[in-house]
Amino acid sequence: MRIVEASEEVEDQSIEPKGFDLLTLPPVKALLKSKYFPKIFQIPVAAVFGLIGYELLAGPSSAHDNPGTALMWVLWWPLIPIVFLFLGRFWCAICPFATLSDFIQKLVGVNRPVPAFLKKYGIWLIDAMFIAITWADHVFGIVSSPWGSGILLLLITFAVIVCGAFFQRRTFCRYLCFLGGLSGNYAQTGMISLRANADICQTCSSKAACFNGTDKAPACPLFSFPRTMESSANCTLCANCIKNCPNDAITLTLRPPTKELWFIRKPKIEESFLAMAIMGIVLIQNITMLEVWEQLLNGVESFTGITNTAIIFTAVFAIGVMTPVLLLSLSSRIAARRNTENWVKNFARFGYALIPLDIAGHVAHNLFHLLAEGKSIYYSVASIFGSNASGSAALVSNDTIQIIQFIILALGFWGAIYTAKRIAYRRYSTNSVRTATLKPIVILISALTALNVVLFLLPMAHRM
């Protein structure tokens, strides 16, 4: 039974207040306005990724000995969510695939408009692709095999070439890239926010130079219009708009992590779904690393009589990914009985509150690889130059890693709870509704955090 009438609730429509503008610092402004930005980063990153691609395809066939595997999965993959947290989607500005897309576009680009179905279902495609790639990794061993990783890179490269050749701007990055979807979600917790000064923009006589581009710099690669932009999900901080704006109306402000999530005005269910799916994927990644995983597989095998590991994994994977989605659905249904919105809207709104916990779980999981195997990057890359350096790969002890993991999880938990509170307080004006809405969400956040803690506590099995 609803305890309030819809008319009682008025959503706070205020926008995210701005913090310190980094563009007031002359060196930052000079860097971002320079025609060499972000090329100065794109070139070395593309060179390193070229090396990674070569090593994956033509280097040692064992993941242990392959510098491509070490650079990609021990260094890059664990660092990337941390980059999202501090710099939003800046990685996307210097991503080698984006560089390739721009190059192909200059070479042969037809610049057709983005197909309507991509605009409409793009994020769902990203959701599906992210889940599919994670599934394929476990079933076909993509990540465990340098060759598999190389093939994945080739497939992505081909998709980028197709999109770059036929469609406008960075269509692939905006509507198809699974990492772009992930980074879009995580960038909303980012500590840097690019926006336009609405007062100046009102007086602007240029024809949306920031969006369409000028002689100074190309158009916004992700089709964002700074004047109306409220989210960092589709801003790569490429600084094109900063160079193009004739009125210096763009601001680049510092803000506390997760702040953007407190002011989401138009929550999207697909973004919330992705947040929950990521939670499920991280849980599955953790579970498959536990000693009990083999026992679980054996148990399922003896119970069902199915001996095909791929089928069993697919079932477990589907359950794992869907569990957080179903739990949020349940929490949203309970919350919907106490507030003015239906459960779908509650799902869309409060899914964003889980993003801080998502990123914390993701970082904590990957930190294990970076800190427990970090030196292997040096060993394997040095082997390219003939070095026989060897030794322990661990940068710090397992105990230290576990402590850091729990600190990160605690921060994620706090961030998620605080974000949920801010969302509820912004949306609902009465304390009773706020509290009633928050209860199931807080229980969900606590349960998922507890599950993560348990998984990080359990001993992990090595299966090699």
Partner 1 sequence: MKRKMFAAAAILGLIVLAGLSFQLSQSAGTHSPQNSLQTSKGLADGKLHSEEAMDPNMPGMDHSSTEGATDSHADEATDSHAEEEMAPDMPGMDHSNPQVNETEEDRPLKATLGTFGVATSIVLSGALILRQRDDKERKSKIEARKVRGETQ
362, HSE (Cβ side, Cα atoms, 13 Å): 26
Residue 112 vs 120, nearer CB to partner 1: 112
- Among 124-132, 140-148, 216-224, 249-257, the segment contacting partner 1 (CB under 8 A): 140-148
Q: How far is the CB of 53 from partner 1 (least distance, A)?
A: 11
Answer for which of 3, 10, 28, 154 binds partner 1 (CB under 8 A) is: 154
Rounded to 10 degrees, the C-alpha dihedral 98/78/311/144 comes to: 90
Does the protein bind partner 1 through residue 384 (CB under 8 A)?
A: yes
Does the protein bind partner 1 through residue 322 (CB under 8 A)?
A: no
User: Hey, what are 54's tokens?
Assistant: 């070569």
Residue 170 vs 427, nearer CB to partner 1: 170
Does the protein bind partner 1 through residue 117 (CB under 8 A)?
A: no
Does the protein bind partner 1 through residue 65 (CB under 8 A)?
A: yes
What is the H or E stretch that residue 194 is in? Answer: strand 192-196
Q: How far is the CB of 161 from partner 1 (least distance, A)?
A: 6
Answer for which of 133, 393, 404, 453 binds partner 1 (CB under 8 A) is: 393
User: Hey, what are 286's tokens?
Assistant: 């953790």
Does the protein bind partner 1 through residue 405 (CB under 8 A)?
A: no
Among 134, 152, 424, residue whose Cα is nearest residue 274: 134
Q: How far is the CB of 27 from partner 1 (least distance, A)?
A: 15
Does the protein bind partner 1 through residue 36 (CB under 8 A)?
A: yes
Q: By the 8 A CB rule, do 131 and 318 touch? A: no
Ramachandran angles phi, psi of 253, nearest 5°: -105, 150
Residue 234 vs 376, nearer CB to partner 1: 376
Answer for which of 369, 421, 422, 439 binds partner 1 (CB under 8 A) is: 369
In this structure, the chain runs to a length of 464
Site for partner 1 in 85-114 (CB under 8 A): 104, 107-110
Distance from the Cα of residue 142 to its chain's centroid: 20
Answer for which of 376, 419, 437, 449 binds partner 1 (CB under 8 A) is: 376
Q: How far is the CB of 187 from partner 1 (least distance, A)?
A: 22
Rounded to 10 degrees, the C-alpha dihedral 18/24/30/32 comes to: 0
- Among 9-17, 354-362, 376-384, 405-413, the segment contacting partner 1 (CB under 8 A): 376-384
Does the protein bind partner 1 through residue 330 (CB under 8 A)?
A: no
Does the protein bind partner 1 through residue 289 (CB under 8 A)?
A: yes
- What's the rounded Cα separation, in Å, for the pair 305 and 286? 25
Does the protein bind partner 1 through residue 298 (CB under 8 A)?
A: no
Does the protein bind partner 1 through residue 403 (CB under 8 A)?
A: no
Answer for which of 309, 342, 400, 435 binds partner 1 (CB under 8 A) is: 309
Residue 140 vs 418, nearer CB to partner 1: 140
Q: By the 8 A CB rule, do 128 and 274 touch? A: no
Answer for which of 16, 37, 55, 441 binds partner 1 (CB under 8 A) is: 55
Does the protein bind partner 1 through residue 54 (CB under 8 A)?
A: yes
Does the protein bind partner 1 through residue 137 (CB under 8 A)?
A: yes
Site for partner 1 in 183-242 (CB under 8 A): none
The set of residues, in sequence order, having a beta carbon less than 8 Å from that of 387 and lying 6+ positions away, is 379
The amino acid occupying position 453 is: V
The amino acid occupying position 338 is: R
Does the protein bind partner 1 through residue 73 (CB under 8 A)?
A: yes
Does the protein bind partner 1 through residue 305 (CB under 8 A)?
A: no
Percentages (nearest 5) of helix, strand, coil residues in the chain: 70, 5, 30
Among 117, 109, 226, residue whose Cα is nearest residue 175: 117
Does the protein bind partner 1 through residue 339 (CB under 8 A)?
A: no
Q: By the 8 A CB rule, do 123 and 176 touch? A: no
Does the protein bind partner 1 through residue 372 (CB under 8 A)?
A: yes
Q: How far is the CB of 234 from partner 1 (least distance, A)?
A: 25
- Among 209-217, 281-289, 315-323, 448-456, the segment contacting partner 1 (CB under 8 A): 281-289
In our burial notation (b when 16+ CB lie closer than 10 A, e otherwise), range 203-242 reads ebeeebbbbebbeebbbbbbbbebbebebbbbbbbbbbbb
The H-assigned helical ranges of 12-144 are: 26-33, 39-58, 67-69, 77-87, 90-94, 96-108, 116-140
Does the protein bind partner 1 through residue 162 (CB under 8 A)?
A: yes
Residue 198 vs 315, nearer CB to partner 1: 315
